[in-house]
Amino acid sequence: MFSTPLSSHVGHGEFTDVYDPAEDTFLLMDALEKDVNEIKKLSCTDINPLAAACSVESAKSNGVNIQPIITDLVTGLLPRLQNQVDVLIFNPPYVVTPSEEVGSHGIEASWAGGERGREVMDRLLPQVSSLLSSHGFFYLVTIQENNPEEIMQSLKSSSLQGTVLISRQAGREHLSVLKFWKT
């Protein structure tokens, strides 16, 4: 087991408006720990420059070097990284909220998922298959209201096989990390 990464700077000082690590973050960490031998290198993207800077600080605090890319989902990566991504990890805004909250510039953008909590997620899902390498993996955090079974069926039509890697009840939320790979 790995120790919990240092993150005391998140939600404080210049990072006040960055989402604090919570149950979904720790579930995702547990899932990735299960697959640590399949994960070779780290990078990240975020639409929020402050969240990207906070990720750099988190990485630095834990002895890791990352170079975030400021972009909306994977817009800044295509077509250059088509069929090149070995590990794609997505902890999207998944909470069911009114659609008008999606894409705001406040901290609510980190959780506001719109209708069924899938509005942001559904923008990325059609691109996953074209991003993953032949031996790549995609990890996705969901809640029950996102309909994980429907997501797995949807990606199956894009030639991706999927499974529920880990699940956990966290308060009122039933969280899952789904794992996908090319068939």
The beta strands (E) that lie in the chain are given as 45-46, 69-70, 85-90, 132-143, 160-170, 173-182
The tens place of each residue's pLDDT in the chain, 183 residues long, gives 677 788 889 888 999 888 888 898 898 888 888 887 766 556 888 888 999 999 999 989 888 888 899 999 988 888 899 999 999 999 999 999 999 999 887 788 889 999 999 999 999 999 999 999 999 999 999 999 999 999 999 999 999 999 999 999 999 999 999 999 999
Instruction: Determine the pLDDT at residue 42.
Output: 61
Dihedral sign from CA coordinates of 90, 96, 100, 105: negative
Q: Compute CA 119 distance to the chain's CA centroid, rounded to the nearest angstrom.
A: 14
Instruction: Determine the pLDDT at residue 38.
Output: 65
Instruction: Determine the pLDDT at residue 103.
Output: 85
13-182 CATH: 3.40.50.150
Cis bond upstream, residue 98 (ω within 30): no
Provide DSSP, 6-31.
P-TTTTSGGGTTSPPP-HHHHHHHHH
The structure's pTM equals: 0.85
Residues in the chain: 183
Q: Where are the domains of the chain?
A: 13-182
